[in-house]
Chains A and B, each alone.
Chain A
Amino acid sequence: MTRFRVATFARYAELLGGHDLDVELATPATVADLIAALRMLPGGAALPAAPLVAVNLNLADHSTPVAAGDEVALLPPLAGG
Chain B
Amino acid sequence: MPLLSAGPIDPATLIAEHDAPGHGGLVVFVGRVRDAHHGRAVRALEYSAYPAMAEAEAAAILAEASTRWPVQVSACHRVGRLEVGEVAVVVVTSGGHRDESYAANRWVIDALKARVPIWKREWFADGTSEWVDPTAAMAP
Is the Cβ of B116 less than 8 Å from the Cβ of A78? yes
Q: In the complex, which residues of chain A have a beta carbon less than 8 angstroms from the beta carbon of B121?
A: 10
- The count of residues in chain B whose C-beta lies closer than 8 Å to any C-beta of chain A is 28
Q: Which of A55-75 contact B (CB under 8 A)?
A: 57, 71, 73, 75
- Given A57-B56, A73-B53, A79-B88 contact (CB < 8 Å): no
What 0/1 readout, one digit per residue, does chain B (92-120) give for beta carbons within 8 Å of chain A?
00000000000000000100111111111
Q: Which of A39-68 contact B (CB under 8 A)?
A: 54, 57
Is the Cβ of B113 less than 8 Å from the Cβ of A81? yes
Q: In the complex, which residues of chain B have a beta carbon less than 8 angstroms from the beta carbon of A75?
A: 50, 117
What 0/1 readout, one digit per residue, does chain B (7-50) give for beta carbons within 8 Å of chain A?
00000000000000000000000010000000000000001111
User: Which residues of B come within 8 Å of A, CB atoms?
Assistant: 31, 47-50, 52-53, 56-57, 77, 88-89, 109, 112-121, 131-135
